Amino acid sequence: MGEPARKLEPANKPPQEETVSPWKEAWRKFRKNKIALVGTSIVFFFILVALFAPLIAPQGINEQDLPNRLQPPSADFWFGTDDFGRDIFSRVVYGARLSLTVGFLAVVGSAIVGSMLGIIAGYYGKWVDTIISRLFDIMLAFPSILLAIAVVSILGPSLRNALIAIAIINIPNFGRLIRSRVLSVKEEEYIMAAKAIGMSDRRILFSHVLPNSMTPIIVQGSLAVATAILEAAALGFLGLGAQIPEPEWGAMLAASRALLVQAPWTLFFPGLAIMLAVLGFNLMGDGLRDALDPKMKT
């Protein structure tokens, strides 16, 4: 018996294109951005330092060694000691835990509240949009640090109240960003179809509008953490944030400003930690924006 006839395939059959999910494509672009990877490495370094602070710090944060006060950096004291003989390296390490906690929690709080207000304003429009948008305009009319100082002055100086103030002043940034995104998303055909089949507004918002508005939230959130760390340090420096003897970087700068000439290392290392942390989040945020923003695609 002869072999069965084989089905002939067209010689010029076009190759099938492999479908790649948007998140995989964004990750591929992010990995190619060397500067973003440097920023991400800095961020993960500080996260690891904050998580393993008890294992890294050689001394307690308030352990005083008066005979060794104001010692310069050495093999025994890597970052030197302050005017109470406390090890600056240990305090900077524990300060990473405080600063990152304030940064992350403040951004999460402002992102949740701001996103919800922005979604409601953009989706319902009319007088709801007018009221919420004017509220955002009023808050943005004040310089952020002055508004944070006003909030902390009302609530009282403390690290917890500084966190609340930072979360409040960042709400309009998320709200306006998400509102503009929702204004375009709600005109899409799938939103029209969801309304046509009688889907409730709450289900449309949480099942369709919010998931399709996550990209700007992620990008803005990574950049906002850097701003929150800087604002927490500013409030701590002014005495309105973390209070002595908490090892918060801004408070450490404030406590050591009189030692600028006598012991400059007491200011240099906390200031260097603030600079590196803010730089890391900014570089990572720029990389996320380039990878996730459709307008950046070529």
The span from the CA of 71 to the CA of 201, in Å, is 64
Residues of the chain with pLDDT under 70: 1-23, 293-298
The whole-number pLDDT of residue 13 equals: 52
Residue 1 confidence (pLDDT): 47
User: CA-CA distance, 253 to 238, in Å (whole number)?
Assistant: 10
Which residue segments constitute the domains of the chain, with CATH numbers given? 40-296 (1.10.3720.10)
Q: What is the pLDDT of residue 15?
A: 53
Exposure letters 117-127 (e unless 16+ CB within 10 A, then b): bbbbbbbeeee
Would you state the pLDDT for residue 69? 84
Q: Who's near 96: CB < 8 A, 6+ residues apart?
A: 46, 49, 50, 53, 273, 277
CA 241-244-250 angle, to 5 degrees, is 50
